Amino acid sequence: MRGKHLWIYGYPVKTILPPPPEMLPADGHFGSGPSRIRPEQVRVLATASELGTSHRKPAVKSRVHGIREGLAELFSLPTGYEIAIGNGGATAFWSVAAASLVRSSTKNAVFGEFGGKCAADWQAADWIHVETVRADPGKLATVQDQVAQADVYAYPQNETSTGVQSPLYRGAPGDALTVVDATSIAGAVTVDWDLVDTYYFSPQKCLGSEGGLWLAVLSPAAIERVEEVAANRGSRFMPSFLNLSTALKQSRLDQTLNTPAIATLILLDEQVRWLLDQGGLAAAQAKASAGARAVSDWADQRDWARMFVEDPEHRSIVTSTVDLAPEVSADEIAKTLHEVGVHDIEGYRGLGRNQLRIASFPSVETEDIKALLNCVDFVASQMIIA
């Protein structure tokens, strides 16, 4: 039996031993956001003269330019599609969309925390009628109509809280907009731009930067809608912070409305260029898929582990969720591995399951995921045999 016993008040109490150093992954960051930032990105910060300078001057503007150009190339954006950037992360973009994209009605797919938060924020806007289509955690809900019943259709492409990935699809024909929360998968999957009008995300997930920004790819129809809403908003609440028309104008000038975190921009710019150097979205998608497959193959071979998302078609390629048998405590595994530099493998706290969640974002090496799984075996075996 591995593990050692401590004697407390005359009783043996088992403690769990962490894996030995030679078993550990080279890099222990497996969190679903903030996620692994490559050391090469961080090293650029040490000598970046843009830090501590004005975001209205050429040095920082050229970073914003690099991000917009780089993303346009990475995403192979068709002409007419534009990228807007603002402060506040994807959470802020829910309010931006409510103020600037929705006319009066939306249909939202809710199959986890993030889709739920977006729908709840929109429900709180008194000019929006929200209809939700819901699925239990671990399952997929879709919003798709033959004839439009709302002017915005919204769904997450990757529900980070459960590990369910949605296919991309258009909500309805005509001028209804399809607005996709791609926060945790943008940069790791190819996109068919015929299917989406707004594709928004934050930089601290696949894009391996820090939080605090939102980025949104806007189709010509979305840009038209933004200008229409800005012109006809009547008494609707529209502070400049939520005005997507203003954000778009600023972005065209390689600026943001107010001061951005310059380190975040530098890390993001570096990552976009690295993704392009690695072979773009197709290569990123192959790498993420290999990481997720390592996790599902591993779980399939253990009778104490099973993939939370039952339908393999709906399993995320970037966030794998694994339920563990009751005798194998996911929290205990996460805690034990945290002590030796393996971070953030516990499940989404709001889900409240005995679950591990492992990110396979493009910055995470598949070899490291395999080493992590060996480490999980090492810790779990002490609980099973005990």
Ligand X SMILES: *Cc1c(COP(=O)(O)O)cnc(C)c1O
**Positions that interact with ligand X (CB under 6 A):** 33, 89-91, 114, 156, 158, 160, 181, 183-184, 202, 211
Q: Which is nearer to ligand X, 214 or 298 (CB)?
A: 214
Q: Write out the two tokens for 309.
A: 């998302």
Task: List the beta bridge partners of residue 158.
Answer: 165
- Is residue 217 within 8 Å of 53, Cβ to Cβ? no
> At its nearest, how many Å lie between ligand X and the CB of residue 34?
9
> At its nearest, how many Å lie between ligand X and the CB of residue 370?
25
> At its nearest, how many Å lie between ligand X and the CB of residue 166?
10
Q: Which is nearer to ligand X, 19 or 156 (CB)?
A: 156
Q: Which helix (H) or strand (E) holds 43?
A: helix 39-46
Phi, psi for 269 (deg, rounded to 5): -60, -45
Q: Which DSSP state fits 346?
A: B
Q: Which residues contact 145 (CB under 8 A, 6 or more apart)?
A: 107, 153, 171, 172
**Closest residue (Cβ) to ligand X?**
89
User: If DSSP codes are grouped into helix, strand and coil, which group holds residue 306?
Assistant: strand
For residue 353, count other CB atoms closer than 10 A to its CB. 17
> At its nearest, how many Å lie between ligand X and the CB of residue 114?
4
Q: Which is nearer to ligand X, 205 or 305 (CB)?
A: 205
> At its nearest, how many Å lie between ligand X and the CB of residue 38?
19
Q: Measure the CA–CA gap between 104 and 130, rounded to whole angstroms.
A: 9
Q: Which is nearer to ligand X, 202 or 246 (CB)?
A: 202
> At its nearest, how many Å lie between ligand X and the CB of residue 130?
17
Q: Write out the two tokens for 311.
A: 């339908």
> At its nearest, how many Å lie between ligand X and the CB of residue 186?
10
Q: Which is nearer to ligand X, 184 or 382 (CB)?
A: 184
Q: Which is nearer to ligand X, 344 or 376 (CB)?
A: 344
SS3 track for 199-256: EEECCCCCCCCCCCEEEEEECHHHHHHHHHHHHCCCCCCCCHHHCHHHHHHHHHCCCC
Q: Which is nearer to ligand X, 93 or 274 (CB)?
A: 93
